[in-house]
Amino acid sequence: MKTKTGFGIGFFASVFFLLTIFSFGQTNPGLKVGDIAPDFQLKSTSGKLVSLKDYKNVKGYIVVFTCNTCPYAQAYEQRIIDLHNKMAPMGWPVVAIMPNNPSVQPGDGFDKMVERAKEKKYPFEYVLDEGQKVFPVYGAVRTPHVFLLDKDRKVRYIGGVDDNSEDETLITRRYVEEAIAAVEKGGEPEPNLTKAVGCMIKVKK
């Protein structure tokens, strides 16, 4: 059947389909499980420029987008420290990236990052996504937001650290630890994608 303008229903269906794909792509940017994550070189509170390639003899990387000021990031701070202390000796270090724009969130400026890292004795590198170039490529949207990469930088898991952001005593699933265990056994994490619970990453409007 054709409309009075001569365009058939199939034409409009095709247009709708293409617009749906475009809209989906626009609202779901970033890496997906199975993608190869790009490396980066970012300034760390330790005084170094840090890249994933700098880590030798690792099995993978726990890349966590987090910050100083978000209450959720603060709630997960000790859990992330504990995660690194448990997993880094097994070859899975945490690399923490601060993605917020400091002009929007002054408490997340680099000097404040240095203070926080020293105060809390971070055992991992805490780096600044200067210019906010890394987090959009990865697709991070909240703090904290985890991207588990294997040694080839293949994304194996994306999401939260565990299943209870409010009360650590009520955790029933430790997603990152479970994902690492699955990868080490040659399998696939289940789930490999969960919802990251936290504050939206701050960008300048």
pTM: 0.86
**Greater confidence, 17 or 178?**
178
Q: Output the domain CATH number for residue 134.
A: 3.40.30.10
Please tell me the predicted confidence (pLDDT) of residue 29.
Answer: 78
Q: Are residues 24 and 39 in the same domain?
A: no
* Residue 67 covered by a domain: yes
Q: Name which of 107, 125, 99 is nearest 45 in CA terms.
A: 125
Q: In terms of domains, do 19 and 37 share one?
A: no
CA atoms within 13 A on the CB side of 131: 7
Domain, as residue range, for 5? 1-30
DSSP per-residue string spanning 81-148: HHHHHHHGGGT--EEEEE-S-TTT-GGGSHHHHHHHHHHHT-SSEEEE-TTS-SHHHHT--EESEEEE
17/78 same-domain check: no
pLDDT one-digit tens code per residue, 2-46: 444 444 544 434 433 333 333 333 344 799 999 999 999 999 999
Same domain, 16 and 101: no
Does 128 fall in a domain? yes
Look at the chain and report how many structural domains it folds into: 2
Query: Nearest CA to 94 among 117, 75, 112?
Result: 117
Whether residues 103 and 13 fall in one domain: no
Whole-number Cα distances in Å, 156 to 85, 150, 153, 159: 21, 7, 9, 11
Domain shared by 81 and 166, yes or no:
yes
Q: Residues 22, 66: one domain?
A: no
Q: What are phi and psi of 198, to 5 degrees?
A: 170, -170
For residue 183, being part of any structural domain is answered with yes
Q: Are 18 and 74 in the same domain? A: no
Residue 100 covered by a domain: yes
Confidence of residue 205 (pLDDT cuts 50, 70, 90): confident
CA distance 35 to 13: 31
Indicate whether 40 and 21 sit together in one domain: no
Task: Find out whether 93 and 57 touch, Cβ atoms under 8 Å.
Answer: no
Q: Are residues 14 and 69 in the same domain?
A: no
Would you state the pLDDT for residue 98? 98
Q: Are residues 24 and 45 in the same domain?
A: no
Could you report the per-residue pLDDT of 92-146, keeping only the tens digit for each? 999 999 999 999 999 999 999 999 999 999 999 999 999 999 999 999 999 999 9
Does residue 205 sit within a domain?
Answer: no
d(CA 146, CA 69): 17
